[in-house]
Amino acid sequence: MNLPNKLTMGRIFAIPVFIVVFLFDYRYAAAVIFIVAALTDMLDGHIARKYNLVTNFGKLMDPLADKLLVMSALICLAQTGDVAGWMVIVILGREFIITGMRQVAAAQGIVIAAGTTGKIKTITQMIAIPLLILENWPFSLLAVNVPMDVIFLWIALVMTIVSGTEYIVKNKQLFSM
């Protein structure tokens, strides 16, 4: 197994650790675990492309690991009341729809590449989640407490809807087959 795939598997194995740490209310430790796992998502793709280590395993497992990490964190945040359940449902629904579309496309030999809006969605999620875990720290320390956690969550939600719509419109031919 090459390094990018090991990083992907490390991210998957970090998820249950994150959940336990978060639910036992060790928020700073949970935020660190999430941030490190999120950074491995960027790192494994960079290494795989730079050193020509792209594998079918990585193509399948890397986006799955990303989705599992984000969904686990959002579900934990919903359980503690930090995120509205309906927001998690919208985000989770988009992920299921797009993943299903990608599987249908792959069965037909079509690759649906990640678009710019999908990448922005992921980045805003990866920023929003640690801010939500840390209850808006460090912004909560400012004289004027700007709710950056909520702002990034809303941006992520909007980008979830925009990118999901974009994927569906650009690949509508998949629905007519």
What are the pLDDT digits (tens) for 51-68? 999 988 888 889 889 999
How many separate domains does the chain show?
Answer: 1
For residue 138, say if its preceding peptide bond is cis, omega within 30 degrees of 0: yes
pLDDT of residue 177: 60
pLDDT of residue 145: 83
10 Å Cβ neighbour count for 50? 9
What are the pLDDT digits (tens) for 67-99? 999 999 999 999 999 999 999 999 999 999 998
The range of the structural domain enclosing residue 24 comes to 3-176
d(CA 63, CA 48): 14
What's the token pair of residue 29? 């430790």
Q: Read off the pLDDT band of 7 (50, 70, 90).
A: very high
- List the CATH number of the domain containing 169: 1.20.120.1760
Q: Quickly list DSSP for 46-83.
A: HHHHHTT---HHHHHHHHHHHHHHHHHHHHHHHHTTSS
What are the pLDDT digits (tens) for 126-166? 999 999 999 999 988 888 889 999 999 999 999 999 999 99
Q: Give the pTM.
A: 0.92
d(CA 112, CA 104): 10
DSSP code for 138:
T
Higher-confidence residue: 163 or 104?
163
Q: 């599987």: which residue's tokens?
A: 103
Average pLDDT over residues 21-46: 96
Q: Could you report how far apart the first and last alpha carbons of the chain are, in Å?
A: 37
Q: 């395993």: which residue's tokens?
A: 57
* Contact criterion met (CB below 8 Å) for 140 and 70: no
Least confident of 6-10, 45-49, 69-73, 126-130: 45-49
